[in-house]
């Protein structure tokens, strides 16, 4: 969130596309938490179901398009149709955030970044021999068999 979402907001702000500035320290109601910290928290929460779905998509262009859509649509739609009404705003007040199209751009870039990091984490070999032994003891089998099956963990 901090290294992708907010720099995209900065780019859109520099282009004059949004009045919102990156790393906004304005306090949110009711707890007074800075906006960018609250966005970071919810970004972490949203990342859980996003990577769960991404893990089930085939690699290739479907994975990357899915990442953009999963990053852009669910969080943005939740903001517009759930959070805005809870705050007494209408969907037409999308300008109260970064703007309707800008929200999709910012969140789509964030979803793409999540997919990239997730794909790199899954591509990484176990960090140590102890981790490899732990995977074998957990019933994961040899890495070749896991890769051939398309799954890396017994619970996926």
Name the phi and psi angles at 88, rounded to 5: 80, 20
Residue 103 has pLDDT above 70, yes or no: yes
Confidence of residue 147 (pLDDT cuts 50, 70, 90): very low
Give the HSE-up count for residue 23: Cα atoms under 13 Å, Cβ half-sphere.
4
> Is there a cis peptide before residue 93, judged by omega within 30 degrees of 0?
no
The ranges assigned to domains in the chain are 5-124, 128-156
Dump pLDDT digits (tens) for 6-20.
Answer: 899 899 989 998 888
pLDDT over threshold 90, residue 2: no
Give the Cβ contact number of residue 156 at 10 Å. Answer: 12
Who wins on pLDDT, 141 or 1? Answer: 1
pLDDT for position 71? 94
Please state, in angstroms and rounded to a whole number, the distance separating the CA atoms of residues 130 and 58.
30
How far is 147 from 66, CA to CA, in rounded Å?
21
Q: Which of 9-13, 112-116, 144-148, 150-154 has the lowest mean pLDDT?
A: 144-148
């Amino acid at each position: 969130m901090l290294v992708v979402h907010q720099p995209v907001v900065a780019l859109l702000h520099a282009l004059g596309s949004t009045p919102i500035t990156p790393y906004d320290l304005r306090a949110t109601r009711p707890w007074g938490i800075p906006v960018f910290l609250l966005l970071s928290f919810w970004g972490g929460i949203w990342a859980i179901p996003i990577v769960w779905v991404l893990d089930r998509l085939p690699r290739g262009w479907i994975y990357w398009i899915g990442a953009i859509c999963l990053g852009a649509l669910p969080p943005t739609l939740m903001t517009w149709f759930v959070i805005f009404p809870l705050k007494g705003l209408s969907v037409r007040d999308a300008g109260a955030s970064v703007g309707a199209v800008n929200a999709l751009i910012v969140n789509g870039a964030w979803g793409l970044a999540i997919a990239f990091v997730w794909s790199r984490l899954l591509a990484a070999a176990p960090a140590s021999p102890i981790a490899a032994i732990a995977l074998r003891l957990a019933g994961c089998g040899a890495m070749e068999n896991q890769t051939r099956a398309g799954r890396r963990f017994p619970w996926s």
